[in-house]
Structure 1
Amino acid sequence: MNILIATDSYKGSLDSEEVAKYIRKGAGKVFPDAKFQILAIADGGEGTVDSILRKQNGRYETVQVLKPNGGNVQARYGILKNKTAVLEMAAASGLPLVALQDKDVMKATTYGTGQLMKAALDQGCRNLYIGIGGSATNDAGVGMAQALGASFRDRDGKEIGFGGGELERIAEVDLSGMDERLKTTKITVMCDVTNPLYGPEGAAGIYGRQKGATDQQILQLDVGMKHLADLMSEQTKEDNRWEKGAGAAGGLGWGLVVFTGAKLLSGIEAILELVGFEEKCQWADLVITGEGKIDMQSVCGKVIHGISVITTKYQKPLIAVAGSIDDDSSQIYAAGVETMEACVMRPMTIENALEKTKQYLPDAAERIMRAVRVGIQMKEKEAM
């Protein structure tokens, strides 16, 4: 039997690789001759670069880039095998990089993110994964494109300045100077929000205030992004403004698609693609997943949901081992999980459960695999 173990972490207790190893320990007691593969899965959020590099034996690179509102910062990104880079735009254009007194979303730029991408290209990377959470910007990715060679000119032919407050001034977009290496580079955007570019649910409408925008500035940003979207739609004959995630990171999601040809994926979809989960799923006879607590959130773009989409596609049975399981499990089953097992077997404090996870997790894996073995035995008797 081929068994693939692909799990999230048990937050506050074990990281995802440790979870997978303890599940394997328990499962191996029941199926000692099985072949196992382990995939430790990150969720695509903050810390994804650290998590992926740790699990994929990558290395860090550091480059000096422009911060959102001026000044420089040393930004880190990761390089994996096969010329693949993993970046977080927050390292270059994130809100924590801006002091409270310097917060000005109208002038904040994603230029540093473009510099980060260029640095990865300079290292020979032709496969970029970019996490775009935690931005300080609302410039629709114009700064990013400027750093990569794009030109945005006003009616007088002058290059516009930085920030979302400049978008209304754009009269001409010239992408002919964009870095030629982008044409042979695959760019995947890890995005966990579904906001369109503008409007009440758009980039500025939902996230502008936390970046310091007033109500009047939010309206101005919306007008500017609509103007730019109209301009680019006319120029490219495509319209991506309503695509899910276009409004992520102040419109950087849209900008990456329109200016660099990137593909928007949910965080977990991108991570599963990055670690080659689909190929490994085809190898497996059984897939085991898990997370600290299984509840309704588990089927809303989290690790278990992303895995279940692929196991369902290939008709592979999926079981889950969790620290705990919420009362209503019906939606979990409907999402493609065949059965579940919780580590906790009796009433106890959270502190006690966390302390003994290393003991309880292999036991839980053994219990559920014993049930799997019973099913196999019954199937064999039916076939006789």
Structure 2
Amino acid sequence: MKILIAPNSMKGSLNAFDFADTVGEAFLACTSDFEIRKLPVADGGDFTGEVLARNFNAQTVSLYATGPLGQTVASKYAISGKKAIIEMADASGMKLVAMNELNPMIASSFGTGQLILDAISKECEEIFLAIGGSATVDGGMGMMEALGFKFFDKNGTELSGNGRNLGKVHSIVKKELPANLKINIVCDVDNPLLGSNGAAAVFGPQKGATSEGVKELEKGLENWATVLEMHARRTLQNIPGMGAAGGISLPLMAFLNAEIVPGADFVLEQLQFSEQVKWADLVITGEGRIDSQTLNNKAPFAVAKVARRFNKSVIAIGGKVEVEASEAFDGIFSLVNGPVNLQEAMQNSRQLLFNFSSQLARTIKSLSR
């Protein structure tokens, strides 16, 4: 039997490559009769940059950047030909800030702009920008500051890029950037910029915003969008996905040749995933939590859509699973088979996954006789 193993990362425990390797090892330990192919996937969230970089055999570029709170951080991105693959979290991510220090009022996406600027200096003409895991709600103001844009309040005072200054922006001095630069913003959510499902209301509290901070960020983003739309001469704030990563897509679409692309579908297209599914008899996918949110075109759901298109069975494995997601798969299974707390499950995720996959492999071997 031909098995295609195509998981997303299991946030906080296993990345997509370790996930795929562990399942593959368990199946081959059961019998060498299985033919295994591993193709880790992503949807704009954790590890998307690495998945794309390995797919394109891209070379890593290491550099120091300005972190979300102004600290110097060791960062990186990848280059393949004229293409740059940038993960926002590597310069402006929550992983770079202690949980008790998260503060979207002062956090800046400046470091992400530095990565983009470095890619431009190396003559890249296309950028894949994965925006999951950000610590900012600055509307991309910090990023644009790093790219050479300047912002002023109504008194002509220059402003630095952060969440608190969004509501003060009155005018912008633009910086000319290469006209042939194309940016694909790889996004795993479709939240609007403003409102109850917007950047401030939904993601602000996750990044440390108080209730008063959420209100201030909402007003700031509204002002920011109004100023940018005057420059772009088109409406931007209602585009699906504009609320992701604190609204970072807004200035990229206002001033550059940028487009928000649905993360999972975009990544699978880059991986030429359909060709791999045609080869397989069975597809195995998964991620940390498989629930109703998975059906909002998260990576496992996108994998299942392609598998179903070619009439291939698909099984999903998660740390936690909920019945609401079962309609998308031929089977969903939790790798946890008994009472265990979250911390213990995450610490032992590799062994738990191997144990479950061994049981699954034995079952499939028996049924295929």
TM-score calculated relative to the size of structure 2: 0.76
Deviation at 1:151, TM superposition (A): 3.2
The Cα of 1:134 is off from its aligned counterpart by: 2.9
Cross-structure match for 1:19:
23
1:137–1:357 distance in 2 versus 1, CA, 3 Å:
closer
Cα distance between partner residues in 2 of 1:124 and 1:5: 36
Q: Distance in 2 between matches of 1:64 and 1:292?
A: 31
Superposition pairs of residues 116-155 of structure 1, within 5 angstroms: 116-155=115-154
Q: Distance in 2 between matches of 1:188 and 1:327?
A: 32
* 1:38 shift after superposition: 4.5
Q: Is 1:262–2:266 an aligned residue pair?
A: no
**Could you report, residue by residue, the CA deviation over 1:32-75 in whole angstroms, capped at 9, with x for unpaired residues?**
8xxx8652324543233345545654432211222223232221
Tell me whether 1:288 sits opposite 2:283 in the alignment: yes
Unpaired runs of at least 5, structure 2: 341-347
CA apart distance, 1:307? 2.1
CA contact (8 A) 1:109 1:137 kept: yes
**What secondary structure is seen at the aligned counterpart in 1 of 2:286?**
coil
Unaligned 5+ residue runs, structure 1? 371-384
Give the 5 Å matches for 1:356-367: 356-357=355-356, 359-366=358-365
Out of 176, 179, 182, which is 1:178 matched to? 176
Structure 2 equivalent of residue 375 of structure 1: none
Q: Are the counterparts in 1 of residues 228 and 251 from structure 2 also a CA contact under 8 Å?
A: no
- Give how far 1:278 is off: 4.4
**Aligned residue identity for 2:104:** V
Give the SS at the match of 1:258: helix
Percentage of identical aligned residues: 27
Name 2:202's counterpart in structure 1.
206
Aligned pairs (5 A) from 1:1-384: 5-8=4-7, 15-19=19-23, 29=33, 38-53=38-53, 57-79=57-79, 81-98=80-97, 104-175=103-174, 177-180=175-178, 183-278=179-274, 280=276, 284=279, 288-291=283-286, 296-297=291-292, 298-311=294-307, 315-322=309-316, 328=323, 332-333=326-327, 335=328, 337=329, 339-340=330-331, 354-357=353-356, 359-366=358-365
Shift of 1:225: 1.3
Q: How many residues align?
A: 352
> Cα deviation per residue 1:159-181 (whole Å; 9 max; x = unaligned)?
32221222233222343x2321x
Deviation at 1:8, TM superposition (A): 0.7
Contact (CA 8 Å) 2:92, 2:135: kept in 1 or not?
Answer: yes
Contact 1:145 1:178 in 2 (8 A): no
SS in 1 for 2:159: coil
Equivalent position amino acid for 1:154 in 2:
D
The farther-off stretch of 198-207 and 151-160 is 151-160
Give the conservation status (yes or no) of the 8 Å contact 1:294–1:322: no
- The worse-fitting range, judged by mean Cα deviation, of 270-279 and 137-146 is 270-279
Distance 1:144 1:332, change over 3 A: same
Contact 1:321–1:365 (Cα < 8 Å) also in 2:
no
| 8 Å Cα contact 1:132/1:249 also seen in 2 | yes
For 2:65, what is the secondary structure of its paired residue? strand
- Cα deviation for residue 189 of structure 1 reads 2.3
Identify if the C-alpha distance between structure 1 residues 238 and 353 changes in structure 2 by more than 3 Å, giving closer, same or farther.
same
> Highest Rg: 1 or 2?
1
Residue identity in the other structure for 2:313 = I
SS in 1 for 2:248: helix
Residues 318 and 299 from structure 1, CA distance in 2 versus in 1: closer, same or farther, beyond 3 angstroms? farther
Report Cα offsets for 1:222-263 as digits up to 9, x if no partner. 222112212222332322212232122221133333333332
* Cα deviation, residue 148, structure 1: 1.7
- Alpha-carbon distance in structure 2 between the residues aligned to 1:10 and 1:163: 30
Question: Alignment RMSD, CA only?
Answer: 4.0
How far apart, CA to CA, are the structure 1 residues paired with 2:338 and 2:208? 44
| Aligned-residue offset at 1:123 | 3.3
User: SS at the partner of 1:288?
Assistant: strand
Q: How many Å apart are 1:144 and its aligned residue?
A: 0.9
Q: CA deviation at 1:17?
A: 4.4
> Deviation string for 1:158-213 (max 9, x for gaps)?
532221222233222343x2321xx3333222323332212233222233344443
Give the corresponding residue for 1:376: none
Distance in 2 separating the partners of 1:28 and 1:54: 27
- Using the size of structure 1 for normalisation, the TM-score is 0.73
> Contact between 1:26 and 1:365, CA under 8 Å: does it hold in 2?
no
